[in-house]
Structure 1
Amino acid sequence: MMVSNIERKEFISPSYKKKLSPKKMILRIFLYTFLIIHSIVVLFPVVWTIGSSLNPGNSLYSSTMFPKNPTFIHYKELFTKTDYPIWYMNTLKIAFMNMILSVILTSFTAYVLSRFKFKGKKLTLMTILVLQVFPSFLTLTAIYVLLMQLNLLNTHIGLVLFYAGAQIPGNTWVVKGYLDQIPRSLDEAARVDGASNFTTFTKIIMPLAKPIIVFLALTSFTGPWMDFIFQRLVLRTADKKTLAVGLLEMVTGQANTKFTTFAAGAILVAIPIVIIFTFIQKYIIEGLSAGAVKS
């Protein structure tokens, strides 16, 4: 049966009838233009670095974005002619240890501040908030002396302890704000069933807080992975060096001009971060406690 034009219009969704106003159209064009420009600005250095790592010789200069005769020799030289594998494993070990320690310390601290009332709680929160104002590198002298007194200079444990302690203030506020949104009725129900505070934390709160815990683990991992200043200050011997310290020495001084090898090493540095983002991005966008409280 044929449908008349009038009947057809009744089936058309209102969203299709509505046309964008000139103001919204201009705003949309501006937004897309901004996103395109921002993407180009972000991706250009990455593409240029990849092209440089494939460039023959030691010079970063090339007449084209990608060299006409690309080569992977610089990636091979990283593992055959330098201590890059040692630097990579050292950095991976420090980042992983810091991730585990930071997640444990920060999650427990945030849980206590979120769920318990005690004397001095407000002062503690204000102190943590104030500590975020001061950048951690202001404490380098004090930390250096402290590590020297504890015989932790030129050790990876000293770096891990510093990173984990320095990340507690900022991360605690983030995790606490997340835990505050979890219904307290879950804690009360667990106590009625005889669960201890530790059981409530590990069996109920932690599974619901998986997105923020994953985010915390990611930031705790990337911190030491990208740091340079403190690693340069603490680490002394070649077998203890990390990626940041080792790569810098490739391009500092008159004799060190391995810029293309440096570019290849910089590309490989990004691989673990990309892999981690690929596997955990679904947890970051998960809901906080959907379906946790049944009606």
Structure 2
Amino acid sequence: MKPKLLISYAVLALIGVVSIYPALWTVLSSFRVGNSLFSDTFIPQQWTLDHYKDLFRTRGTRDIQYAKWFWNTLQVAAVSTVIGTILQLLTAYAFSRFRFKGRKPMMMVVLILGMFPGFLSIIAIFSILQKLQLLDSKWGLVLVYSAGSALGMFVAKGFFDTIPRSLEEAARIDGANNMSIFFRIILPLSRPIITYISLMTFTGAWVDFIFARAILTSRDEWTLAVGLWSIIDSYNSTEFTLFAAGCVLVAIPITILYMYTQRFLVDGLTAGASKG
């Protein structure tokens, strides 16, 4: 084996270990007896499911509403995914297919704004939601996630640019308008990019902490990210194993979603390649 190839494999193996080790440590910690962050052994000497049970029951002064937080997060992520995906697809299609005054400056503005971290706008967003009386509301959070989705439209625009315009021209000859072309021709051919956008939007809303922490103040309205943070913050970092159990349950829906949608992504790419 060539030295360069051997070094490449070694680097990839190191990256794999660095990436997998923290996740594996968290999973194993969720089954470990006690609540300590540290352990003498990597694999637990004693296994327990008590931490998972504690997430769904109140014990002592605890007020862990894990099921409620899970439902709140699912609502926010699902609605944000639907609205955000539609907005991003419409925006990308408009910039890809139409030529209008101010198109290039607008694209430049969107590109520049997309380079800045979203949390830089948190004060402005807080003020706007306060005026709209949407603070401490899941729908205010949905509005934030959905409204910002169009900033990531360049991937979808690049995909739409690859679709032949002759398909649209043929549809216009048959009397189809722009919306008919978009929904009946463009979207059926855009399964890969729809899958990608949906996954990214859902994942972003599912794991976001910064905006959720700033907008949601009532414990009943919290999402999982804020709720899990409160477990460690409220109990002075003495409940790491409980926190680890919550993190494992958070990762399960995302893992299932990626495994399920991967098939549609591959099928869409294969269909597009065969047509080309």
- The alignment's TM-score, normalised by the length of structure 2, stands at 0.93
- Counterpart residue number, 2:61: none
- Counterpart residue number, 1:11: none
1:249 aligned residue (230, 250, 264): 230
- Counterpart residue number, 1:32: 9
1:118 aligned residue (97, 100, 110): 100
Contact 1:54-1:66 at 8 Å conserved across structures: no
Gaps of 5+ in 1: 1-21
- Counterpart residue number, 1:186: 167
Deviation at 1:255, TM superposition (A): 5.4
Q: Percent identity?
A: 43
Q: Distance in 1 between matches of 2:235 and 2:181?
A: 60
Contact 1:52-1:61 at 8 Å conserved across structures: no
Higher CA-based Rg? 1
- Counterpart residue number, 1:96: 78
Classify the secondary structure of the residue corresponding to 2:45.
Answer: coil
Q: Distance in 2 between matches of 1:139 and 1:78?
A: 33
Q: Distance in 2 between matches of 1:247 and 1:254?
A: 11
- Counterpart residue number, 1:212: 193
Deviation at 1:253, TM superposition (A): 4.1
- Counterpart residue number, 1:199: 180
1:165 aligned residue (147, 150, 159): 147
**1:126-175 C-alpha deviation (Å, 9 max, x unpaired):** 111111122211111111011001000000111111111122112x1110
> Structure 2: which amino acid aligns with 1:106?
Q
Q: Which moved more, 1:282-291 or 1:88-97?
A: 282-291
2:118 aligned residue (129, 133, 136): 136
Q: Distance in 2 between matches of 1:288 and 1:147?
A: 43
Change (3 A) 1:282 1:137: same
1:156 aligned residue (133, 138, 159): 138
Are 1:56 and 2:7 matched, yes or no?
no
Gaps of 5+ in 2: 59-63
Deviation at 1:292, TM superposition (A): 4.2
Change (3 A) 1:256 1:221: same
Contact 1:94-1:156 at 8 Å conserved across structures: yes
Contact 1:182-1:289 at 8 Å conserved across structures: no
> Structure 1: which amino acid aligns with 2:18?
V
Are 1:41 and 2:18 matched, yes or no?
yes
Classify the secondary structure of the residue corresponding to 2:133.
Answer: coil
- Counterpart residue number, 2:260: 279
Deviation at 1:268, TM superposition (A): 0.8
- Counterpart residue number, 1:65: 42
Q: Which moved more, 1:283-292 or 1:25-34?
A: 283-292
> Structure 1: which amino acid aligns with 2:6?
I
- The alignment's TM-score, normalised by the length of structure 1, stands at 0.87
- Show structure 1 runs of 4+ deviating over 6 A: none
Q: Distance in 1 between matches of 2:240 and 2:84?
A: 35
- Counterpart residue number, 1:239: 220
Q: Distance in 2 between matches of 1:287 and 1:186?
A: 19
